């Protein structure tokens, strides 16, 4: 059996990438909180992770003929527009409190995945060295 990050750390390697991507999206939302007409976005974590898992029924759509616009790339980024809780006069859908709360929670999730990977590495190091190192 060949060891890869996926079979060593499970879903956590993919999760780290998604948590990082979500950090960027949420930071972008916060940076544009005062931009008229800006539409807040977020990563649909469950949808992207399910698609990355390649489970049954997760076949990506592909362009059938040359020149046709493919939709696989759009679904793969997992970005969706956030439904605003309070409409704004200038069309901006960023709710700073919601974004800040999501940003903080996202940091906790990122740290949890990173801690799991770190623990796995420690366990592997102990197994390789027999606890002598």
Q: Per residue of the chain (133 residues), what is the pLDDT tens digit?
A: 565 666 677 788 888 888 999 999 999 999 999 999 999 999 987 777 677 665 544 444 444 444 444 444 444 568 999 888 887 899 999 999 999 999 999 999 999 999 999 998 998 889 888 877 6
41 bridge partner residues: 81
Backbone angles phi, psi at 41, to 5 degrees: -125, 165
Distance between CA 26 and CA 62 in Å, rounded?
Answer: 29
Centre a 10 Å sphere on the Cβ of residue 3 and count the other Cβ atoms it contains: 8
pLDDT of residue 1: 57
Enter the DSSP assignment of 61. P
């Amino acid at each position: 059996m060949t060891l890869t990050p996926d079979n060593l750390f499970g879903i956590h390697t993919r999760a780290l990438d998604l948590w990082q991507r979500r950090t960027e999206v949420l930071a972008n939302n916060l940076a544009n909180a005062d931009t008229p007409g800006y539409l807040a976005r977020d990563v649909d974590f469950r949808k992207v992770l399910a698609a990355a898992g390649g489970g049954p029924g997760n076949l990506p759509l592909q362009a059938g003929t040359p020149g046709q616009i493919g939709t696989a790339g759009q679904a793969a980024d997992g970005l969706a527009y956030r439904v605003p809780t309070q409409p704004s006069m200038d069309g901006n859908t960023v709710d700073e409190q919601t974004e800040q709360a999501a940003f903080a929670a996202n940091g906790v999730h990122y740290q949890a995945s990173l801690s799991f990977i770190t623990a796995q590495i420690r366990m592997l190091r102990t197994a390789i060295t027999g606890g002598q190192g």
